[in-house]
Amino acid sequence: MNAATLSLVFLIIFGVTVMFCEGRIGGTTERCLCQKTNLQKRVKPVFVEKIEVFSPSASCTYTDIIITLKNRRKFCLDPNGKQGQWILSGQELKEKAKGQRGKKQKNKRQG
């Protein structure tokens, strides 16, 4: 192979690589765990085994709430619904309580 052919092959491979990578960098597609069209509004608490809350991240700008039922079925709960807001407020309270653990509270003496 001469230098001109080798350079042409290199440029073609480089161009194809750039074309595929360009479509992924800065794209608008997000990798969220829940699809925003298939959200449940509420669930009976009796059937819930586990609740997982995923905060917004670099790959997804939405808050995802995944509910696992006792029969191992999983689905996404709407974080904007009444039950979703209730769960998120409970998570906030739990986070605040974690921050206060281990700190000594000052006792006020009345005298």
- What is the pTM assigned to this prediction? 0.57
Q: Provide block-wise average pLDDT over 10 residues at a time, the chain (111 residues).
A: 83 78 57 79 88 86 89 89 86 73 54 46
Give me the numbers of helices (H) and strands (E) for the chain, helices first please. Answer: 2, 3
- Indicate the fold that domain 31-99 takes in CATH: OB fold (Dihydrolipoamide Acetyltransferase, E2P) (2.40.50)
User: Any idea where the domains of the chain sit in the sequence?
Assistant: 31-99
Residue 31's identity, in one-letter code, is R
User: φ, ψ for residue 38 (rounded to 5)?
Assistant: -115, 50
Residue among 88, 50, 89 nearest 67 (CA): 50
Q: What is the DSSP string of 69-97?
A: ETTS-EEEEPTTSHHHHHHHHHHHHHHHH
Indicate the length of the chain as a whole number.
Answer: 111
